[in-house]
Amino acid sequence: MKFGISPSPHPWWESIEEFKLWVSEVERCGYDAIFIPDHYNLPTPDFPSNELVDAWSTLAFTAAITDQICIGSCVTPIPRYTPSQIAKIISTVDVLSEGRVIAGFGSGWNHEEFANYSPQSCLEEPKIRTRRFLEGLQIIIRLWQEDKVTFNGEYYRLRDAVLLPKPKQKPRPPLWLGGMSSSMLKIAAEYFDAWIPPRSRPRGERALTPEKYEYMVNIIKKYLREYGRSVDKFTFAILGWIGDDISLIEQYVYAGCQYYVVDISTIVKSSLKEKIKAIRNFAKEAMPSFK
């Protein structure tokens, strides 16, 4: 059982020194990875504001001030980027971090974000977005692993594209999927190394119960077997909260969870001292129960 932590994309620190101290404490406490949400817009009042840092720039900075901890996005919406661009960005961060990147991907969901920051300037309907996501994913994987890539898809075209430097990790960084639709669960089993849905979601959507989580885990396992992939080499994760207690975490572990990521958004308005106390308490009281 591993544990990760997800800081809010809002700049909750009062100084860069505070952020550096927090990151150092996370690494010292034994968390496996820091996952930063990749958003340029978020709806208010569900979230504090639209003042957001860029995830991969922040992860590159995080890599520079750490030595061992993994770094990743939770998750990057591929259709909001040009696929070759995000492939280049992530490859660079993997090189700079000496191979510590976890590439978290999703298809996106926020209308305002896509209207203002995506190449297509709109949030397309789910079926189109999924097809665009899948094409983009194939481009990213090929650019990371092949010398030259030519691609003629429905949405993207490449001609003898070269991506250098390649990622430090071979054959590529681990891929984590954040999608929960039936089509995305199948894609997770075909292309990904891990699945990380949110335990609860914004906009008043129903929480992912342990029972529903287990049901989806079993769907992915079924597809993994159909694709001839090892269930044992696939990681089932979930994005929870820093205040989650041991009994709740246990329910998800029994349902198949192997990697629990705690979001600190609920304590972003507290002082740095209180934030550090919270991550220390979780590391001391909850994490040892699942060794």
Encode pLDDT of 106-127 as tens digits: 999 999 999 999 999 999 999 9
Does pTM top 0.85 for this prediction?
yes
- Cα separation, 12 vs 15, in Å, equals 9
User: Which domain, by its residues, includes 12?
Assistant: 2-290
Instruction: Provide the strand spans (E) within the chain.
Output: 2-6, 33-36, 70-73, 76-77, 101-106, 149-152, 157-161, 175-177, 194-195, 235-241, 259-263
Q: Are 288 and 248 in contact (CB under 8 A)?
A: no
pLDDT 10s digits, 199-213? 986 555 568 999 999
Q: How many degrees, rounded to 5, is the angle at CA 185 between CA 182 and CA 186?
A: 90
Q: What is the pLDDT of residue 45?
A: 62
Number of domains in the chain: 1
Top pLDDT among 202 and 168 is at: 168
Q: Among 32-41, 44-53, 116-125, name the one with the lowest average pLDDT.
A: 44-53
Predicted local distance difference test score (pLDDT) of residue 42: 84
Q: Which residue has the tokens 């927090």?
A: 22
Per-residue pLDDT at 138 = 98
Contact between 69 and 27 (Cβ < 8 Å): yes
pLDDT score recorded for residue 201: 63
- How far the first Cα of the chain sits from its last, in Å, is 6
CATH of the domain at 211: 3.20.20.30
pLDDT digits (tens, 9 = 90+) for 124-161: 999 999 999 999 999 999 999 999 999 999 999 999 99
Residue 43 reports pLDDT greater than 90: no
> What mean pLDDT comes out for the span 33-43?
92
